[in-house]
Structures are given as structure tokens and as C-alpha cells.
Amino acid sequence: MRIILVLSKAPIYSETFLTSKIRGLEKNGHEVVLCVDTKSSEDKAYDRVYALKSTGYFHKLSLLQGLMELFIFRPGRAIRFLQFERKSGMSIGTALKNMTISSHILKRDAEILHFGFSTLAKNRENVAKAMGIPMGVSIRGYDTSIYPLKHKNSHKMIWEQMTRLHYLSDDLLKDAIYHGFNPEIAHQKITPALNPDLFRVRKQLIEKNTLQLITVARLNWKKGIMYAIKAAKMLMDSGIKFHYQIIGSGEDEARLKYITRIWCLHERITFRGKLSHNQTIEEIQKADIFIMPSVQEGFCNAVLEAQASGCLCVVSDAQGLAENVLHERTGWVVPRRNARAIHNKVLEINKMSISDKQVIVNNAKDRIERQYTLDIQDASWLEFFESMLKSTPLKNPDLIKEGF
């Protein structure tokens, strides 16, 4: 089976959900062709990567070249795409524009087209139909929780043309339904997963003089880091000895550092910036409590890794986090946008006995090993794509060839 996976750019090593998905399919004998919007240094890590545009001064020329190649080498497919666009109510100008941003996909052959994010399918809804193959779509938090707030009915055509939907958590599916997804369309939940070989050691908790807190996240508003910093201020005012590491980078870094300074937390909070995946895991394993105060969160790989590392987790109730962590069984879930709740929960955990904490750590570790392994994820993706082929036979098998 040959699958075209559409992404904005080739995933970096730390984007484990995407990289493990690609490697898992390839391990099971399937070909994955990456069609990306922009070239990047990560392209060389994958066997087949086709970019829409090059970087630098020649990106417009590369777009024009891609469109010309499509008409020369795939004239039938180009004409079908334009016909479907016109039937969808697009003007000739808009149809040509949509063809241009889809030319690197339309030139390829495959049995399945899959968009790694639903927003990437916007203005490309007719591509799979023109190719005569089924179309899969993955939704993440941004796709259905944020993008539709600015773009009303943005997913209407996507829902109409897709064959099967992938989602990370039940809350994301509810968001999709709210924004017009018909639940009678085939859909399947596939969560992130971990490589169990990286987390074999079972952590034994010990008493410490200084509580070690940690967060791993992009530094933007969605992650709610400000609420964790406010909670840290309350902990300091409560006389708790702690140190809080924040690993990650992003557009809010300067603002968060400024708040940390004016609240006199600069000796209690360290911004580590972006670390390698291995370095990040090492720091998580040394910490006592992992805090994820997100305002919006599809699921969160970092929280899975924290639980697998033996770190006690306090997370907000933002969407998939409440599925990721089972309240009072594998960690604690507190209301989002509530610094006081984070502060109170950390105080409560700090007063718990080592044996009670160890029960939570062991529960979380056991659940990860039962439900969130790469083998389970690989099997789920195989089921996802094989079901697409079974439910939607190719409409034009002559389009599928062995070459490119």
C-alpha cells in the first residue's frame, strides 16, 4: 500500500506521533510518500519527500513549474480537478490557485491520500477525488478548537469529501461534530504512543528537601504556562522549597521571563530552552511533579512520557489531558486557567506519603505499558488505512501505477 501523507513540512525527531506513524507503516511493508508545503533540513531523514515550493527567491518559480508539470504529465487528472472545483462552486481563478497549491500531490500515485492536519486539506478537498483514491484526515487541537473560530464553516467541504477521520481524543471528536462533522462517517481514535524501551526502569520515589517541578511545552498561550508560574508564586509565598524547570521555546518566552523576574521567581524558575529529546527525558526522570497547565490540548505526548518516566503529573482538564491522565489514579486533573488549583494540588501531593505517591506512579506506568505502546499504535494505523481501502474501492484503478 502506498500512502501520501500531507504535512506542512517533514516532521522533526521530537514530533514522535508523526515519526512513529511513518516508521510503523514502513516497518509493515507500506510506502509513505511525504508531500510537504515547504522544504526543510529534515527532508533527508525520509525516503520520499516532495515539496510544494522551494525556499529563497525561487519559490514562485517553483510553484509555476509544478503547475506546468501537472498539465504536461497528468493532463487528465488536472482537468478532473478543475471540473470538481467548478462543481464545488469555485471560480476558474480560485480553482487554478487551489490546483497550484496541490500540484505536488496531484503528480504522485498512491492508494490513499491522508492529511496529517485537517487545516492542510483546506482548498485541497477535491484532490483525492481527482486522483480516484480515498481521503483520510487527522484532526488536532488547533484544527477544530481554534481555526474554526476565525474561519466559519471552514471544514464543511472537508467533511463532505473525506472517507475516514482520525482523532486523538474524545473531546476533539466532540469539537469536530460541533463544527459539522457527521458522526456516521467512519472515524477512529488513535492516541500518541511511546517506545517502551526508553522507559524500562521503574522509578522508586525518595524524600527530597527541594521539590522538583517541570513542564515541557511550547511557550505560547495555549500551553497556559502563565498559570503554572502564578502557582509557583503561591508556592513561594507558602514557604515551599522548590525549583521549577520549563523546557521549550516559543513566542511567549520573553513575556514569561519578565513575569518571572518581577515576581522574584528567577532563582526558583529556570527556562531551559529547547533540549534534545534524550536530554528532555533525562530531566523529566529527575523531577518529582510534571505540570501541564494547558488551556487547549489535543492529548500531549510529553505527559505520556512523564508518566512513563515515573513523574507525578498534574494536568489541566483541557480536552485530551483528562483522558491522558486518570484523576487520582494515574495523576491529577485540575480545572484549566486555575493557578490556585495547581498550587493546592502540588501542596497536597507534597504532603502525601512516599508509599501513596508510589502507587500513583506505578498505576501510571502500568497503564502506559498496557495502552500506549508503539505496537498498539502501529496496529491501529494499519486498521485505519486498510479499512479505508475496504470501504472505498478505488474509483479509477488505472491511476495507480508502480512508478512516480
Q: Would residue 88 count as lying in a domain?
A: yes
d(C-alpha 314, C-alpha 214), whole Å = 10
Q: Would residue 31 count as lying in a domain?
A: yes
The three cell numbers of residue 138 are: 487527522
Coil/strand/helix, residue 22: helix
According to DSSP, residue 123 is labeled T
Q: What is the predicted pLDDT for the residue at 58?
A: 58
Same domain, 60 and 205: no
| H or E element that contains 35 | strand 31-38
Same domain, 339 and 383: no
Q: What is the predicted pLDDT for the residue at 49?
A: 85
Same domain, 281 and 366: yes
Q: What is the predicted pLDDT for the residue at 111?
A: 94
CATH, residue 211: 3.40.50.2000
Q: Would residue 145 count as lying in a domain?
A: yes
Same domain, 235 and 357: yes
Coil/strand/helix, residue 164: strand
Amino acid identity at 221: W
Q: Digits of tens for pLDDT over the chain (404 positions)?
A: 999 999 988 887 667 778 888 888 888 889 999 999 888 777 677 878 888 865 555 566 777 887 888 889 889 999 999 999 999 999 999 999 999 999 999 999 999 999 999 999 999 999 999 999 999 999 998 898 889 888 888 999 999 999 999 999 999 999 999 999 999 999 999 999 988 777 877 777 878 889 999 999 999 999 999 999 999 999 999 999 999 999 999 999 999 999 999 999 999 999 999 998 889 999 999 999 999 999 999 899 999 999 999 999 999 999 899 999 999 999 999 999 999 999 999 999 999 999 999 999 999 999 999 999 988 999 999 999 999 988 754 444 334 333 32
Compute CA 31 distance to the chain's CA centroid, rounded to the nearest angstrom.
21
Torsion of CA 271, 277, 281, 282, to 10 degrees: -80
Same domain, 61 and 203: no
Torsion of CA 181, 182, 185, 190, to 10 degrees: 40
Q: What is the predicted pLDDT for the residue at 175?
A: 92
> Could you tell me the residue range of the domain that residue 44 belongs to?
2-193+373-399
Same domain, 22 and 169: yes
Same domain, 327 and 381: no
Same domain, 127 and 58: yes
Q: Would residue 404 count as lying in a domain?
A: no
Same domain, 172 and 256: no
pTM: 0.87
> Total domain count for the chain?
2
Relative orientation angle of helices 374-391 and 16-27, to the nearest 10 degrees: 70
Same domain, 188 and 63: yes
Q: What is the predicted pLDDT for the residue at 16?
A: 72
Q: What is the predicted pLDDT for the residue at 403?
A: 32
- The burial of 294, by beta-carbon neighbours within 10 Å (0-12 exposed, 13-18 middle, 19 or more buried), is given as buried
